[in-house]
Each structure stands twice: as structure tokens, then as C-alpha cells.
């Protein structure tokens, strides 16, 4: 690889001058030398060594991002928001997938710190795990102590800047909707119980049911991976245990899609025989059939806010922002079937929208 001094030598100038030309330094350089340097750069196909630059420069520029999995639409949307702001500000993003492994998360904090990122954003759910939370907080504190900025998305455990989707209210909205439609036998297809996202959404859901004098017993909850196959499998287990169910709440849209697949496999009509509610409103939700009724979270916006917080753009923002959840009615949730036990032959042709909430 050609180095700066190669360029300088070829142009007949000092490395200092070459550097100034290449970086557009404020220090003036005569046109003639500038030309020579530029010519040398082109001839040698010179590209500055980023590591050397970063080492020599004092200020840090890149921003580190730790998500569970960028290819999961939930994080893809958040990341889109993060990117948008970062690009505007001329920042490079380093994105790491933890695949929901706490240890890997810890490792990535170190890795990104080692890469001298100016800020760190952790997106995704927190864990119900004292020891881990403490460790993570220590590491984040150490990082902040050296001037790094930290923001978390959807995790309570960190004391600094945070963007929180209102998972609890989201769960509550889902519960209220289903109650309004007359459902009593409601099953839940939940993500891993160690995740705060799972428990928060569950808590809101339970609150709604309780307010309506109904309940959500543990036997009507199945925990599984937060993805399509987890949802399919949990739904199967739920149905096996309790065939009377008239509604299923999936704690994210991927699981809801899995649930829909299982239901279809068993010949249960949605929403005529059984209703399904999702959570997140990821883009594909409107394209499945029937289109998914779900709780929308402003995913892109969450990313935008978090990045803005950490980069300090705009007015001095509050350090914790809670973004609202919102129910999106589509076609998978309908009124409870007239008889809980749907007659096998003639499923009622119930359509959504007749019932006000």
C-alpha cells in the first residue's frame, strides 16, 4: 500500500504538505504544490490508512451500535432511523449483532470502545438478570467516564439517555381491544421471559384484562424465541393445551406471522374463529393475509431520537424519551365468535370494524 510519504516523495514535498492538501487543511498551500500532490495521489491510487488517521487525530467520529439482529425487521427499522441521522452528521456507524447473547453484548461494548467510537447505542430489550445488568452498567459507566456518550433504546437498566417505546401501554391497548371485541379466552405467544420487553408488554396486557374483570393465567402464556418459528411453535402448544382460545396476542409481529401459519395449518379461520394481534407493526404486517392488526411502535423514529440524543443535535432534549404505542386495526382481530366453540361446519362470516372500541 502506498503511504503518505510515498506520495510526498513523488510530489517532491514534505509529508506535512501532502497531508494538508489531502485533508483540505486550513493552512494555505500554493497551487503548484497542491497540483503535484493531487497528481501523485492519483498515480499511486493512494488511500489514507484510516487507522493511522484515527490514531493521529484526537477527535472520535464513528458511532457504535449494538442490536440483537439487524436483519430482524424490528431492528432494521430502528437502524434506518439511526443511519439517517448519522449520515446527516457525517458519522460512520459500526453495527454489531449480539443475537440476544448477553456475553456477546458485553464483548461488543469493549470492542467498540476499543475502536474509539464517539458514542454507543444499545437497542433491544434489557434482561432480567441482575449480574449482567450490573456488569453492563459498569462497562458503560467506564466508557462514559472517558467522554463517551451512551444511549439505550428500549432498555431500562441504564441510567443515562434512553429512548423507550411504551411497551406497557402497547400491551394495554392490545388487551383493551380484545376485551372490547368480547374475548375472554385469550392466549399469549410471548418472547423469552428473561427479556424486559416481554414482561413489560405482558404487564400492560394483564392490566387491561384485570381492569375488565378478566384474567391472564400463566397457563395461557407460552414463551418462545422472538421470531417466526418461535411464534408458530408456541401457538401450537397453546392450542393443544387450550382449544377454546378465541384470541391470541403475539408479543411481536414475527411471532404473529408464525401464529398465523400455525392457525392456517390447522384450518382455523382468522379472524372468524380466532383473532390474532401482533406487536411492532413491522412493514410486512400489512402484507400478510389477513393483514395483521397490531400495536405500532415508531421504530424509525426511535432510531432518529436515540442518535440525536447521543450526537446532541437539536435542542437539549430530555434524557429519557418515551415514545407512544398505537393500535393499528387491520384484519386479524374480530369479535368473539357467537359460540366460543365454533361449529365446525359453518364458520360465521364476521368482518372486522363492526364493533367500536
Partner DNA sequence: TCCCTGCGGGAAAGGGCTTTCTCTGCGGTA
Partner DNA sequence: TACCGCAGAGAAAGCCCTTTCCCGCAGGGA
Note the residues at the interface with its own copies (CB under 8 A).
1, 45, 47-55, 70-71, 73, 76-77, 79-80, 83, 94-95, 97, 110-111, 113-116, 139, 142, 146, 228, 257-258, 260-261, 264, 283-284, 286-291, 330-331, 352, 354
- What is the Cα 276 distance to its own chain's centre? 22
CA distance 271 to 330: 10
Alpha-helical runs (H) found in the chain: 4-11, 15-23, 31-44, 50-56, 73-88, 102-114, 130-145, 167-180, 196-211, 228-241, 253-265, 299-311
Q: CA dist 54 to 4, 58, 324, Å?
A: 15, 7, 39
Residue 5 touches which of its own copies, DNA, none (Cβ within 5-8 Å per kind): DNA
Candidates 9, 38, 48, 185; binder of DNA (CB under 7 A) is: 48
Check binding of 30 to DNA (CB under 7 A). Answer: yes
Candidates 39, 42, 55, 313; binder of DNA (CB under 7 A) is: 55
Residue 29 touches which of DNA, its own copies, none (Cβ within 5-8 Å per kind): DNA
Angle, alpha carbons 138-168-270 (nearest 5°): 130
Candidates 10, 20, 158, 206; binder of DNA (CB under 7 A) is: 20
Strand 294-296 relative to strand 326-328: parallel, antiparallel, unpaired? antiparallel
Candidates 3, 61, 135, 317; binder of DNA (CB under 7 A) is: 3
Contact between residue 197 and residue 191 where contact means Cβ atoms under 8 Å apart: yes
CB of 35 to DNA, least distance (A): 11
CB of 145 to its own copies, least distance (A): 8
Residue 39 touches which of DNA, its own copies, none (Cβ within 5-8 Å per kind): none
- When the beta carbons of 179 and 285 are compared against its own copies, the nearer one is 285
| Segment near DNA (CB under 7 A); pick from 11-19, 75-83, 190-198, 257-265 | 11-19
Residue 25 touches which of DNA, its own copies, none (Cβ within 5-8 Å per kind): DNA
**What burial letters (b/e) apply to 302-336, b meaning 16+ CB within 10 Å?**
bbbbbbbbbbeeeeeeeeebebebebbebbbbbbb
Check binding of 10 to DNA (CB under 7 A). Answer: no
CB of 118 to DNA, least distance (A): 15
Q: At residue 27, what are phi and psi to the nearest 5 degrees? A: -70, 130
Check binding of 57 to DNA (CB under 7 A). Answer: yes
CA distance 227 to 43: 51
CA distance 38 to 81: 37
Residue ranges binding DNA (CB under 7 A)? 1, 3-5, 12-17, 19-20, 22-23, 25, 27-30, 32-33, 46, 48-49, 52-53, 55-58
Amino acid at each position: 500500500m502506498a503511504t503518505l510519504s510515498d506520495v510526498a516523495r513523488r510530489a517532491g514535498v514534505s509529508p506535512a504538505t501532502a497531508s494538508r492538501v489531502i485533508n483540505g487543511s486550513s493552512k494555505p498551500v500554493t497551487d503548484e504544490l497542491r497540483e503535484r500532490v493531487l497528481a501523485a495521489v492519483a498515480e499511486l491510487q493512494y488511500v489514507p490508512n484510516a487507522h493511522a488517521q484515527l490514531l493521529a487525530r484526537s477527535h472520535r467520529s464513528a458511532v457504535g451500535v449494538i442490536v440483537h439482529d439487524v436483519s430482524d425487521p424490528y431492528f432494521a427499522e430502528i437502524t434506518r432511523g439511526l443511519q439517517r441521522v448519522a449520515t446527516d452528521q457525517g458519522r460512520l456507524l459500526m453495527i454489531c449483532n449480539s443475537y440476544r447473547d448477553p456475553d456477546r453484548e458485553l464483548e461488543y461494548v469493549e470492542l467498540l470502545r476499543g475502536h474509539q467510537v464517539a458514542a454507543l447505542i444499545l437497542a433491544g430489550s434489557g434482561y432480567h438478570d441482575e449480574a449482567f445488568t450490573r456488569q453492563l452498567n459498569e462497562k458503560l459507566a467506564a466508557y462514559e467516564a472517558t467522554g463517551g456518550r451512551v444511549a439505550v433504546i428500549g432498555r431500562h437498566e441504564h441510567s443515562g439517555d434512553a429512548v423507550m417505546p411504551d411497551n406497557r401501554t402497547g400491551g394495554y391497548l392490545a388487551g383493551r381491544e380484545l376485551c372490547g371485541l368480547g374475548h375472554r379466552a385469550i392466549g399469549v405467544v410471548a418472547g423469552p421471559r428473561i427479556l424486559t420487553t416481554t414482561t413489560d408488554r405482558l404487564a400492560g396486557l394483564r392490566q387491561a384484562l384485570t381492569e375488565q374483570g378478566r384474567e391472564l393465567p400463566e397457563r395461557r402464556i407460552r414463551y418462545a424465541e422472538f421470531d417466526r418459528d418461535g411464534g408458530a411453535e408456541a401457538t401450537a402448544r397453546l392450542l393443544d393445551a387450550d382449544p377454546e382460545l378465541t384470541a391470541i396476542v403475539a408479543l411481536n409481529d414475527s411471532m404473529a406471522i408464525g401464529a398465523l401459519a400455525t392457525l392456517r395449518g390447522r384450518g382455523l379461520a382468522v379472524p372468524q374463529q380466532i383473532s390474532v394481534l401482533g406487536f411492532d407493526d413491522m412493514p410486512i404486517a400489512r402484507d400478510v393475509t389477513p393483514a395483521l392488526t397490531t400495536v405500532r411502535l415508531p421504530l424509525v423514529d426511535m432510531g432518529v431520537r436515540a442518535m440525536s440524543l447521543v450526537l446532541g443535535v437539536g435542542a437539549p432534549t430530555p434524557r429519557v424519551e418515551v415514545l407512544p404505542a398505537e393500535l393499528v386495526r387491520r384484519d386479524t382481530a374480530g369479535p368473539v365468535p357467537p359460540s366460543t366453540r365454533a361449529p365446525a361446519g359453518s364458520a360465521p362470516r364476521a368482518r372486522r370494524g363492526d364493533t367500536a372500541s
